[in-house]
Structure 1
Amino acid sequence: MNLIPSLIIGFIVQLIFEQTTVAKLSYNQLEFSFCAAWDPNGTTIATSTLVGVKPTRIFVDNNSTLYVTSKNLNRTMVVPEGSNVATRNISTGLFHPSGIFVTSDGDIYIANGGITHRVEKWALNATSGVIAMNTTSECSSLFIDTNDTLYCAYDTEHKVVKMSLKNHTNTVVTAAGNGTNGSEPSLLSYPNGIFVDNKFNLYVADYGNDRIQYFYPNQLNGTSITGAGSITLSRPTDVLLDADGCMFIVDLDNHRILQYIFHVFRCIIGCSGTPGSGPNQLQYPFSFAFDSYGNLIVNDKDNNRIQKFFLITNSCVVSYNQPKFCAKAKWNPNATTFATNTIVGSQPHAVFVNTNNSVYSANLNNGIIFMWLYNSVNVTNVFVGNLSLMYSIFVTSNGDIYSSSDLYGSQVRKYSADTNAWSTRMHSSSSCYGLFVDVNNNLYCSMRDNNIVVRSQFNDNTSTSTTVAGKGTAAATPDALDYPLGIFVDVNFDLYVADCGNDRIQLFQLGIINGTTVAGNQSTIQTISLNCPAGIVLDAENYLFIVDQINARIVGSGPYGFRCLVGCTGISGAEADQLYWPLALSFDTYGNMFVSDINNNRIQKFIFLTNSCYTSMAVSFTTDITTTLYSAQSSQSTWKNSTGIGLYYNISDKACDYLQPCYHNGFCYNNNSNVNNFYCLCPYGFTGDQCQLDKRLCRLDTCWNNGTCSETSNTTYSCYCQPGWQDDRCKTKVNYCSNVTCYNHGVCRPLVLDYQCQCLAGSFSGRHCEIVASTTKIHRILSKSFVYIAIMAMITVVMLVIIMDILKYGFHIEPSIQDLDRAQRDKQTKKRMQRFRPRYRDTLVVRKIAFLFQK
């Protein structure tokens, strides 16, 4: 009795399993954070001895086994992880093999060249291949998607074709391009590497057009990715995506590997700008793949080698401290002197505290960098490396030290914690008065005398740098700087600059050339008056902490606006509560503040008063301020002594608190001199007294249907549409039936990110109604038989007419007339016989009677 329920349950479980089973990928598609970094120095895992001259394509399966095609050797090699010897050599019948793809079953698909182009399938341990697809030209690249569709890039025919490996019809259809060389959205020019994601979007390295084209399923118009900012593509030859859809590209003619993230390119391998055979160089790389550990395997074609670049980190770790402070946080106004001129010399500019609370500072006079471990009053370590005039230092999470130096011309020197050696990291045209290394290990330098901030890619060891703020001449316009000093880059790669000569703090968002004044002179709202801001730091909630140099103080922002934190006497001096031309600021993990007090020749430490936050109130409220209820940790007497309003004096009388007037996450600052008693500091793109006006190019309604908007300049933008939508604002739904053929009178119905062919019930089935039912086949055969019989009858009649005409006009014989005459003669004869027969009978009767009478 329990058998049937068990079978039903088993069937349901099996059905659910089948519906939820995800196709296993044969290649490695890992999830990388935007802080992922690879060792810039590669390790050679295969040379020309193994892979021949100029190896063609590579593939790495999820066992980290390497597959290499070699046109030079007319073979394909299979090399297990950690080995430099091929365990399988496929060469039988191969001539100039190019594209390669390996399935999760171990089947190897190879694009075979020669006179007869084809794609061959080599089963695991097979000694010969079988034809999987006949092609009209060489497949420069192959790919098999999760639906078992084989894609082939015809580079010389300027298109990509595909064929299903399931239905065995061997029907090859066009997936992208039409065979014409061109740069229109529907055209390709010498396509090379291809990739298909799990939504069946096709990505093509459009070699001749210097772009990546991606096509939605069954759409022949592609969307272009060409580059942004200072990085553009030149002859891309391969493309792949990680698990989050982040794109990686082989940039052939620039001899590098790029990552495309947040609609911005960054170089990750081969970033020196010079081709070569060094461990950090590439020379015309052609294809690449990830192994199962996230290491990058690159076919360094013209160096006749395969390089492995190890994944160093896949997490976002900062080396500096960003404490979270309460709104009323306070510091002891009387500092303790952490280091004097006996150690740090005269006018110490730099101070840095890492997440281990180790303190670093530099002596400008003797070129030494000092380090104090946490709680140590004595110097723990010194770093000497041909340094001079170290105006700024930065220490990374792995212990590497970056320092500006003017000993042999302006440059940035790097101390490697791994090798204990110094090297030149970047040459600069003037001294760097501010240094910063972001979470992607890109190096920033503020050149005070050049009025710019430059950035160098994290693994670029040359003088190559890009200007990211300022235009080289001192000015107060949004795109200019005047005497920039301290800098800070947050995890979103937004750059904050202490613009000393303009008495302001400028914010430059990633890819935007015009800065926004967030504090000081020329701010759209009244924030705080600054006089040569020299340092800038952000806390955990992105509130600003500014070294206000000439005013000899440290100021900070918070939920109630800006306020002075330390050095608030208004007078420069050498007392414990005074500063004299402070320059740099750094927090330890406890919130203590370290300041370089350069004209007092000392490093000062201001202790964070933790009890300053204990009197804060926990507030719960309703939407009606008149019925607001409060619960507080302090007593009623404390409320009465406060400056609040209300029955218990527990409602803040600050306009920003009870009005909350600033829209769109604008910062509110209380100011009683204003008619509204507040000012709103608006985020980028918002204006108005309360930030109520949205002037951004990229608004919520710019790109429809969850499309992503990216500002490409101050006046232009691009929409990156979600799958299923297209056009410049993602308003048009993709018609997935536009290029679909449903056979046997099937009707295509568009679905969400897909389509369906509705077939005639009972007669046809399959993805495109291409499978014919057995009964329909029989009906077709019978129908054809009747048709054949009718045709033969018609042919017989026609032939008979033709023969009769030949006899009539060729031989003057008319069979039809002669037959008619003969029929008439026969008829007349019969009539005469009928007349004769009665008389004859009568005569016989008479004779017979006469005969009887005679007897």
Structure 2
Amino acid sequence: MCGGFARIDNWDIHGNDILPSPVRQPDYASCCSQCQTTPECIAFTYSPSSQRCSLKKSMGSGGYSTGDSLTGYYLIPNIPVDARWKQNGVTVAGGHGKGSASNQLDGPEGLFINDDQTMVIADCWNHRIIQWKMGDTNGQVVAGGNGNESRLDQLTRPTDVLIDKETNSLIICDSGNHRVVRWSRHRGTTQGEILIDNIDCFGFAMDDQRYLYISDTGKDEVRRYQIADKNGTIVAGGNGEGTRLNQLNIPTYIFVDQQQTVYVSDNWNYRVMKWNKGAEEGILVAGDQGQGNALTQLGHPNELFVDTLGTIYVAEWGNHRVMRWPKGAKQGTVIVGRNGREEGANQIAFPTALSFDRHGNFYVVDRGNHRIQRFSIE
């Protein structure tokens, strides 16, 4: 799987080294070239001052380097525009019917997959965040699960979650309590803390500078926050509900690329919008042909992913499918779904979230069937 490298300044990517010790390379490009021509290299660190090039075949949690400043780079897969996936998915979490047992989910919404392939799931109607290691049959509750009220040890209908690696914590959209909360991942944590209150949050993303982007379905906008900032800055929408290019209508999930471009699932406008950094209006990149199931249409788009080629992948809640829209295309193609919404391996019902791993396999939150499905790239 070919790919491009995303840069994280002053960040030492930990992991299993391919070489027994760092090698000297004259510049970043030479280190990058060596990584790309070395089997299994998915990340590397390079220090210009010492010309140290360290190649990685896995990624650990990462951490700030002491001493010499290292700059880390990790691989983002370039998925070929004609890639195909197996049409029968494999259940990797849930799939035992609707329920609250440790092997069950109830209306899951958001999904985050960590570098070690651990899944963190916003288990919406169980009012909890559950962590699921790949290959396990049971998950572990890591936040909430204590009823659906507003105490700090409780969540109400969480819709999205991500891991903030710098603080080793979960950031959670606690939508029913109109707040964003943070829960430490350290052992013994029993409650969270409020980061932002009085917000109709639904989905969010974090860029490599640790800015947090949050969609607000009540104000039809997306704001960017620094951690501990209560107000934020509008980066998309914010001009009332509507269909104009500077408006949104129930924005749900968002994706932010390395240039801080914001892609928004404009759910009730049945479209995906792209907002460049500093822009006052968005650019239509998918849909906007009304609600329907034609290849030019989107039916309530939810979570989306944009690869390094600019191809958009979007989970369609209303059409029970996942669509691929190449950059500049006027219509998409169905990559999975559209086979009914029962519990078959080739079926998904009301998909809400999706995520890719470094190999190009993707994972879908099959909300209606209370499970997470993995579809392997062919």
- TM above 0.5, yes or no, is yes
| Partner in structure 2 of residue 402 of structure 1 | 171
How far the C-alpha of 1:600 sits from its partner, in A, is 2.0
For the 8 Å contact 1:554–1:566, the answer to whether it is kept is: yes
| Partner in structure 2 of residue 377 of structure 1 | 137
For the 8 Å contact 1:534–1:547, the answer to whether it is kept is: yes
| Partner in structure 1 of residue 299 of structure 2 | 531
| Partner in structure 2 of residue 481 of structure 1 | 248
How far the C-alpha of 1:469 sits from its partner, in A, is 0.9
Q: Which amino acid aligns with 2:117?
A: N
CA distance in 2, matches of 1:514, 1:344: 42
| Partner in structure 2 of residue 424 of structure 1 | 194
How far the C-alpha of 1:450 sits from its partner, in A, is 2.2
| Partner in structure 1 of residue 181 of structure 2 | 413
Q: Which amino acid aligns with 1:337?
A: T
| Partner in structure 1 of residue 116 of structure 2 | 356
SS in 1 for 2:224: strand
For the 8 Å contact 1:551–1:572, the answer to whether it is kept is: no
- Judged with a 3 Å threshold, the aligned counterparts in structure 2 of structure 1 residues 519 and 506 are, in CA distance, closer, same or farther, namely same
Residue 257 of structure 2 is aligned to residue 507 of structure 1: no
For the 8 Å contact 1:330–1:565, the answer to whether it is kept is: yes
CA distance in 1, matches of 2:242, 2:319: 22
Q: Indicate the structure with greater strand content.
A: 2
Q: Deviations over 1:572-624 (max 9, x none)?
A: 33322122211111112222221112222222222222xxxxxxxxxxxxxxx
Q: Deviations over 1:626-677 (max 9, x none)?
A: xxxxxxxxxxxxxxxxxxxxxxxxxxxxxxxxxxxxxxxxxxxxxxxxxxxx
| Partner in structure 1 of residue 127 of structure 2 | 367
CA distance in 1, matches of 2:157, 2:364: 18
For the 8 Å contact 1:354–1:588, the answer to whether it is kept is: no
CA distance in 2, matches of 1:475, 1:317: 40
How far the C-alpha of 1:480 sits from its partner, in A, is 0.4
Residue 88 of structure 2 is aligned to residue 328 of structure 1: no
Residue 327 of structure 2 is aligned to residue 573 of structure 1: no
| Partner in structure 1 of residue 377 of structure 2 | 608
> Which among 332, 338, 346 is matched to residue 106 of structure 2?
346
How far the C-alpha of 1:368 sits from its partner, in A, is 2.3
How far the C-alpha of 1:439 sits from its partner, in A, is 0.8
CA distance in 1, matches of 2:140, 2:375: 21
> Which among 210, 213, 217 is matched to residue 444 of structure 1?
213
| Partner in structure 2 of residue 455 of structure 1 | 224
For the 8 Å contact 2:289–2:296, the answer to whether it is kept is: no
CA distance in 1, matches of 2:274, 2:112: 22
CA distance in 2, matches of 1:394, 1:451: 22
| Partner in structure 2 of residue 80 of structure 1 | none
1:1-150 matches, cutoff 5 A: 35=9
> Which among 542, 557, 561 is matched to residue 310 of structure 2?
542
TM-score by length of 2: 0.70
Q: Which amino acid aligns with 1:336?
A: V
Q: Deviations over 1:753-793 (max 9, x none)?
A: xxxxxxxxxxxxxxxxxxxxxxxxxxxxxxxxxxxxxxxxx
CA distance in 1, matches of 2:116, 2:8: 24
- Structure 2 alignment gaps of length 5 or more: 1-6, 12-63, 145-152
Q: More displaced, 557-566 or 544-553?
A: 557-566
For the 8 Å contact 1:357–1:589, the answer to whether it is kept is: no
| Partner in structure 2 of residue 389 of structure 1 | 157
For the 8 Å contact 1:453–1:467, the answer to whether it is kept is: yes
Query: Which structure has the greater CA radius of gyration?
Result: 1
Q: Indicate the structure with greater helix content.
A: 1
For the 8 Å contact 2:295–2:333, the answer to whether it is kept is: no
For the 8 Å contact 2:106–2:126, the answer to whether it is kept is: no
- Judged with a 3 Å threshold, the aligned counterparts in structure 2 of structure 1 residues 345 and 442 are, in CA distance, closer, same or farther, namely same
SS in 1 for 2:109: coil
CA distance in 1, matches of 2:170, 2:310: 25
- Judged with a 3 Å threshold, the aligned counterparts in structure 2 of structure 1 residues 540 and 418 are, in CA distance, closer, same or farther, namely farther
How far the C-alpha of 1:472 sits from its partner, in A, is 4.7
CA distance in 1, matches of 2:342, 2:135: 27
- Judged with a 3 Å threshold, the aligned counterparts in structure 2 of structure 1 residues 449 and 322 are, in CA distance, closer, same or farther, namely farther
For the 8 Å contact 2:342–2:349, the answer to whether it is kept is: yes
For the 8 Å contact 2:225–2:231, the answer to whether it is kept is: yes
Q: CA RMSD in A?
A: 3.0
How far the C-alpha of 1:513 sits from its partner, in A, is 1.6
| Partner in structure 2 of residue 337 of structure 1 | 91
Question: Moved runs in structure 1, 4+ residues, more than 6 A?
Answer: 310-314
- Judged with a 3 Å threshold, the aligned counterparts in structure 2 of structure 1 residues 508 and 449 are, in CA distance, closer, same or farther, namely same
- Structure 1 alignment gaps of length 5 or more: 1-32, 38-309, 610-855
For the 8 Å contact 2:239–2:246, the answer to whether it is kept is: no
Q: More displaced, 527-536 or 555-564?
A: 555-564
- Judged with a 3 Å threshold, the aligned counterparts in structure 2 of structure 1 residues 315 and 447 are, in CA distance, closer, same or farther, namely farther
| Partner in structure 1 of residue 365 of structure 2 | 596
Residue 249 of structure 2 is aligned to residue 468 of structure 1: no
Q: Which amino acid aligns with 2:123?
A: N
For the 8 Å contact 1:327–1:560, the answer to whether it is kept is: no
How far the C-alpha of 1:487 sits from its partner, in A, is 0.3
CA distance in 1, matches of 2:179, 2:360: 32
Q: Which amino acid aligns with 1:576?
A: A
For the 8 Å contact 1:317–1:397, the answer to whether it is kept is: no
1:437-836 matches, cutoff 5 A: 437-457=206-226, 459=227, 461-521=228-288, 528-558=296-326, 561=329, 562-569=332-339, 571-609=340-378
For the 8 Å contact 1:581–1:599, the answer to whether it is kept is: yes
Q: Deviations over 1:220-256 (max 9, x none)?
A: xxxxxxxxxxxxxxxxxxxxxxxxxxxxxxxxxxxxx
For the 8 Å contact 1:428–1:463, the answer to whether it is kept is: no
CA distance in 2, matches of 1:314, 1:498: 36
Q: More displaced, 531-540 or 559-568?
A: 559-568
- Judged with a 3 Å threshold, the aligned counterparts in structure 2 of structure 1 residues 393 and 317 are, in CA distance, closer, same or farther, namely farther
For the 8 Å contact 1:595–1:603, the answer to whether it is kept is: yes
CA distance in 1, matches of 2:134, 2:349: 26
CA distance in 2, matches of 1:512, 1:326: 29
- Judged with a 3 Å threshold, the aligned counterparts in structure 2 of structure 1 residues 542 and 488 are, in CA distance, closer, same or farther, namely same
Residue identity over aligned pairs, in percent, reads 24
How far the C-alpha of 1:316 sits from its partner, in A, is 6.2
For the 8 Å contact 1:572–1:579, the answer to whether it is kept is: yes
- Judged with a 3 Å threshold, the aligned counterparts in structure 2 of structure 1 residues 474 and 314 are, in CA distance, closer, same or farther, namely farther
- Judged with a 3 Å threshold, the aligned counterparts in structure 2 of structure 1 residues 549 and 463 are, in CA distance, closer, same or farther, namely same
Q: Deviations over 1:529-560 (max 9, x none)?
A: 21211111012333111112211110113489
Q: Which amino acid aligns with 1:331?
A: W
Q: Which amino acid aligns with 1:497?
A: V
How far the C-alpha of 1:354 sits from its partner, in A, is 1.9
SS in 2 for 1:433: strand
Q: Deviations over 1:394-437 (max 9, x none)?
A: 12344421111146x3111112346864322222431x211111
Q: Which amino acid aligns with 1:354?
A: N
- Judged with a 3 Å threshold, the aligned counterparts in structure 2 of structure 1 residues 424 and 546 are, in CA distance, closer, same or farther, namely same
TM-score by length of 1: 0.32
- Judged with a 3 Å threshold, the aligned counterparts in structure 2 of structure 1 residues 322 and 566 are, in CA distance, closer, same or farther, namely farther
- Judged with a 3 Å threshold, the aligned counterparts in structure 2 of structure 1 residues 405 and 445 are, in CA distance, closer, same or farther, namely same
